[in-house]
């Protein structure tokens, strides 16, 4: 099954994707993670992407599509996968459909995490990320045992460059402008299911797990 997780920044898409991939064996493809990796590697694509990411703007479609198309092909060749943070524009959605169509596949399910802006801002501004293993924490909702230190690998916790209030607000505006229309796009394909991104991690997982069954890899 090919699943898209749709919703504003801070809706909990990445957190749920990690839980779903652990419990059900789905591959997790996050364009944000792929882009952050190219920034870290210092590639030319990464350098270009960083200029947009730092401002809370979307990286141009042609760059993102080129970057993820390999992952999408590998994802559908190996079976079930979750897309987290992609597509984010009409063009990306159409490119995804046409890429999948070549393999006689399609997006089977879109989970739309409807989330209030206040919750997004609260979650993202308090988020801390392990610089070594990428595990997420939250200063209030999910603090690490030792301040500034990852529970899992003892790496140091950092605040993502785009998790400051000003950039978060910009990301939310960009989401409404560029990504909001995908709700209707997928509604018209009859694949959209709305859930509440305002719920906490466990409550939301209880709501969405009914859509999934274990894959061979799980």
Q: Which stretch binds ligand AMP (CB under 6 A): 15-23, 81-89, 93-101, 140-148?
A: 81-89
Residue in 4, 11, 27, 59 binding ligand AMP, rule: CB under 6 A: 59
2, 76 contact by CB (below 8 A): yes
Residue 40 annotated in active site: no
Residue in 37, 132, 160, 169 annotated catalytic: 160
Q: How many CB atoms lie within 10 A of CB 215?
A: 16
| Among residues 88, 123, 127, 128, the one that binds ligand AMP under rule CB under 6 A | 88
Name residues contacting ligand AMP, limited to 157-196 (CB under 6 A): 162, 171
Between 32 and 75, name the residue whose CB sits nearer to ligand AMP: 32
Is residue 85 a contact residue for ligand AMP (CB under 6 A)?
yes
Task: Tell me how far apart the terminal alpha carbons of the chain are, to the nearest angstrom.
Answer: 14
- Sheet with 157-158, edge to edge strand ranges: 136-138, 127-130, 157-158
Rule CB under 6 A: say whether 58 interacts with ligand AMP.
yes
Determine, following the binding rule CB under 6 A, whether residue 56 of this chain makes contact with ligand AMP: yes
Per CB under 6 A, 32 contacts ligand AMP: yes
* Residue 170: active-site member: no
Please pick, among 18, 123, 128, 171, the residue that the annotation labels catalytic: 171
Query: If binding is defined by CB under 6 A, does position 15 make contact with ligand AMP?
Result: no
Name which of 57 and 194 has its Cβ closer to ligand AMP: 57
Closest CA to 178 of 4, 20, 9, 15: 9
Q: Which stretch binds ligand AMP (CB under 6 A): 16-24, 86-94, 96-104, 204-212?
A: 86-94
Residues designated as active site: 13, 88, 127, 160, 171
Residues that bind ligand AMP (CB under 6 A): 9, 31-32, 35, 52-53, 56-59, 64, 85-86, 88, 92, 162, 171
């Amino acid at each position: 099954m090919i699943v898209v997780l749709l919703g504003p920044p801070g809706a909990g898409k990445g957190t749920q994707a990690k839980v779903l991939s652990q419990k059900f064996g789905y591959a997790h493809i996050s364009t944000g993670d792929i882009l952050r990796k190219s920034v870290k590697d210092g590639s030319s694509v990464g350098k270009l992407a960083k200029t947009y990411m730092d401002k809370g703007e979307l990286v141009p479609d042609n760059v993102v599509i080129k970057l993820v198309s390999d992952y999408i092909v590998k994802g559908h060749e190996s079976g079930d996968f979750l897309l987290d943070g992609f597509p984010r524009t009409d063009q990306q959605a159409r490119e995804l459909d046409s890429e999948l169509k070549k393999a006689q596949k399609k997006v089977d399910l879109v989970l739309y995490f409807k989330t209030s802006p206040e919750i997004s801002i609260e979650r993202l501004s308090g988020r801390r990320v392990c610089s070594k293993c990428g595990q997420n924490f939250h200063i209030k909702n999910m603090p690490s045992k030792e301040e500034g230190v990852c529970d899992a690998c003892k790496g140091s916790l950092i605040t993502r460059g785009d998790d400051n209030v000003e950039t978060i607000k910009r990301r939310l505006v960009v989401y409404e402008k560029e990504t909001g229309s995908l709700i209707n796009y997928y509604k018209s394909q009859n694949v959209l299911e709305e859930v509440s991104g305002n719920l906490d991690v466990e409550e939301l997982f209880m709501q969405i797990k009914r859509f999934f069954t274990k894959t061979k890899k799980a």
